[in-house]
Copies of this chain bind each other. A is one copy, B any other.
Amino acid sequence: TPPHHVAVLPGDGIGPEISKVAVALLKQAGQKEGVDFEFTEAAIGGAAIDATGSPLPEETLQICRQSDAVLLAAIGGYKWDQLPPEQRPERGLLGLRAGLGTFANLRPAVVLPHLAEASTLKREVVEGVDIMIVRELVGGIYFGQPRGFSTNEQGHKIGFNTMVYSEPEVERIAHVAFQLAQKRQGRLCSVEKSNVLEVSMLWKEVVSRVGEQYPDVELSHMYVDNAAMQIIRNPKSFDTIVTGNIFGDILSDAASMLTGSLGMLPSASTSDDGPGIFEPVHGSAPDIAGQDVANPLAMVLSAAMMCRYGLDLPQIAEHLENAVSAALDAGYRTGDLHTPGMQRVGCSEMGDVLTRYL
C-alpha cells in the first residue's frame, strides 16, 4: 500500500515538543500494522512569521494541499501579540482552514473516568459526559463580508463584521452533524439565536429541512444563551451539537471545561474531499514551552482522530487511544493533571510511557 502523506505543522510554544511525541507514536503504530506514513514538516504561525514574514507561507499551504491529512500542534505567543491583526499567528490558522475548506470542526468533550475529579463541576454532573460539538469553521462571522472599519453618518469611527450563512453552507454542515449523530446516540441539538438574528432563522430552517432526511435522528433547537447554561447545568443532556463558527468557538471552549483538562482534548476539521486538519484544542502555552513539561495527550488523541476521520485507519486510532488510556490507568500524569498519588512525568517521558503501552 502507498504511504499516507501527513503534513506536520508544529507551530509555536509547546507545539514542537508535543508533535515529536505524536509523530513517533504514529510511526511505531504504523510499523505494527504495516502502514507507512510519510511526514513533511512545514511552518505556520509565529514560527512562520519569524522565518518568512507570513503566518501561512504559500509553501506550507501547498504542502498541506498535497498531503492526505494535516497534523497541527498549536500557534501563537506573546512575542507576536503586538503585530497588526492581519499579520498575527492566528491569521495563519484561519487562512489554513479557509485554504483547505475544512468546514466541519469536530470537538468532542468526553469526560474520562480517570479525570472526572479534575473538573470544577461536581463528579456526578460530569461523569459520563460525551458531547460532540460540530462547529461550522469556514463561514459565519469569521469570514463574512463586508467587514472592516468605517465612519458612520454621525462621523464616528465604527468597526463591523457580517454574520452570514447561505443555504448550502448550512446544508453541508448539517449533513455532517446528522451523520455523526446517527453513529452516536441519535440526538442532535442545533444551536443558534433565531429569536433575534435572521442568519439564525435561516440556519434553523435549513437544519430542520435537512433533518427530514434523517428520521432516525432526534433533532432539537436551542438558543445559544440557553445552551451555554445547559452545558453547565446538565451536560449529560447533550449528545451531538451543531452550530455556527463563533457560537461553536465559545460553546466548545465552555464544554472543554467539563473535562477539567484542556490538555486531553483533540479536534478534527474536515472538508468534503481534501485533507483534514487535526489539532489539540489547547493553545501553544508559551509560558511552559521548551521545558519538557507539556501534556502531549491531546496531540496524540488528535493524531488518533486523524487516523480515524482523515486516513481511514481506525486500527491505528485505536492503538493510540488505548495507549493513552493505559498510561492514565497506570497513573502517569503530566503536571497539568497531577494529583497526589499519581506518577508525575514530563512530555518526552509521557511519550516513552505511551511507546511502552502501544
Chain A to chain B contacts (Cβ below 8 Å), 5 pairs? A88-B195, A157-B202, A158-B202, A161-B198, A162-B163
Contact B162 A195 (CB under 8 A): no
Say if the beta carbon of A122 comes within 8 Å of chain B: yes
* Interface residue from B198, B228, B234 paired with A147 (Cβ < 8 Å): B198
List B contacts of A202 (CB < 8 A): 149, 157-159
Known pairs A159-B201, A228-B251 / 5 extra A-B pairs, C-beta < 8 Å: A159-B165, A160-B162, A161-B164, A225-B252, A229-B262
Q: Name the interface residues of A194-215: CB closer than 8 Å to any CB of B.
A: 194-203
Whole-angstrom distance between the alpha carbons of A156 and B196 in the complex? 22
Contacts of A168 in B (CB 8 A): 154, 156
For residue A115, CB closer than 8 A to chain B, the reply is no
Residues 124-148 of A, flagged 1 when their CB comes within 8 A of B and 0 if not, give: 0100000000000000011010011
* A246 interface contact, C-beta 8 A: yes
- B161, A162: Cβ atoms under 8 Å? yes
Contact with B along A11-31 (1 / 0, CB 8 A): 000000000000000000000
Q: Kindly list chain B residues whose C-beta atoms are within 8 Å of the C-beta of A144.
A: 160
Counting chain B CB atoms within 10 Å of each CB, which of A90, A121, A149, A250 scores highest? A250
Known: A120-B121, A157-B202, A232-B120. Is A163-B164 also a contact (CB below 8 A)? no
**Interface assignment of A249: CB less than 8 Å from any CB of chain B:** yes
Complex CA–CA separation, A340 to B353 (angstroms): 48
**A229 CB to nearest B CB, Å:** 5
Contact of A226 with B200 in the complex, beta carbons under 8 Å: no
Kindly state whether residue A295 has any CB partner on chain B within 8 Å. no
Query: Which 3 A-B pairs give the minimum distances between C-beta atoms?
Result: A159-B202, A160-B164, A232-B257
CB distance from A45 to the nearest CB of B (A): 12
